[in-house]
Amino acid sequence: MKTIDELLAEGVSGKRVFVRADLNVPLADGQITDDGRIRAVLPTVEALAGAGAKVIVASHLGRPKGAPDPAFSLLPAAERLGELLGKPVAFAQDTVGPAAHAAVDGLEPGQVAVVENLRFNPGETSKDDAERATFADELAALADVYVGDGFGAVHRKHASVYDLPARLPHYAGYLIATEVGVLKKLTDEVQRPYAVVLGGAKVSDKLGVIDNLLEKADRILIGGGMVFTFLKAKGYEVGASMLQEDQIPVVQEYLKRAEEKGVEFVLPVDVVVSGGFPDLKAKEPTHPDTVPADAIPAGQMGLDIGPATAELYAAKLADARTIFWNGPMGVFEHPDYAGGTRAVAQALLDSTAFTVVGGGDSAAAVRLLGFDENAYGHISTGGGASLEYLEGKTLPGLAALED
């Protein structure tokens, strides 16, 4: 991949540079609740604008159905980008139509515009190559150069990620270059012991990465809703906890393979339970109980790893040289069930390892729980992209940037 530094060396003054960013930020009542992804693309946008480029920033947000939907407008993200840049950012109310062309035509060197949500056009996510190609042609008409910097979308074969780079001189932005460098440290250049912490709701979302990590990791720690499928696979009752019954045979096979390969699989020894899922808006006390992992009562739902498990996991991470963490240990959005996630976040800080927080809910948890994100080795902006890279898959958006 050619990098943005090579582009800057060639000169961009007066050129229209299309930056495919990932501004897919969480919104509540139209307000951004976590601007981490916007801040992640700042170095690329600032460098290009500072060198005199006319910068066109494009992204998706949410999952609109291929048509304009005010609930998924990028306007709040554009406004926040302007605040962070400290200067006005033009906003086009369409993606490739008259408003987009007017916004781009109105740019002076060093200025920035954001076009509306790419997914408002069905060509962005279409599985039909011709439909995607048509949209990519329309996007290409806006620009002279393409910079890919939306790491959170590189695992998608979408028009702006996969098809557009083939139509313009293309370069990797600072964020993508950083993310790929970090992922190589988790695959090709690992310092051992290598510990992986996996959480989140569904075990099915993590099967591919577990399969691949059984060949690479020394230690795998499991938490979150997915852990109850592992506990059930060991013959434990899990009460009313989240369970993917159909995945039990696969999990049993993974546990067997881990034992054969000498990979330490660490499961909870205790669990925080309650009679039902908590109200995440009111966040009122729910009177949880802590029970042994092999004695979850009928009707009780596991919502976090327990304090003894938190201590165990911290001990298992203490001597690691490399740690990758993807997925919270419990329902961290509620204070009664944030203890396990907080303990893992702290254990990463306490270790001397190269630490990577693998995007998505893990990154949101670090920020919500008040940790200094700069204290970690790296916080990824793309949970799904990171996992697919670690699974050994070819990511379309990265392949498209290669020459």
The catalytic residues are 37, 202, 360, 384
The amino acid sitting at 73 is: S
Tokens of 156: 């998608």
Helix (H, G, I), strand (E, B) or coil at 17: strand
DSSP H or E segment with residue 316: helix 307-317
CA-nearest of 109, 13, 22 to 74 is 22
CB under 8 Å to 30, separation ≥6 — which residues?
76
CA-nearest of 17, 103, 13, 88 to 52 is 13
Q: What number of helices (H) and strands (E) belong to the chain? A: 14, 17
Place of tokens 């920033």: 57
DSSP H or E segment with residue 50: helix 36-50
Evaluate whether 46 touches 89 at the Cβ level (below 8 Å): no
C-alpha–C-alpha distance, residues 170 and 382, integer Å: 21
C-alpha–C-alpha distance, residues 311 and 307, integer Å: 6
CB under 8 Å to 70, separation ≥6 — which residues?
none
The amino acid sitting at 136 is: A
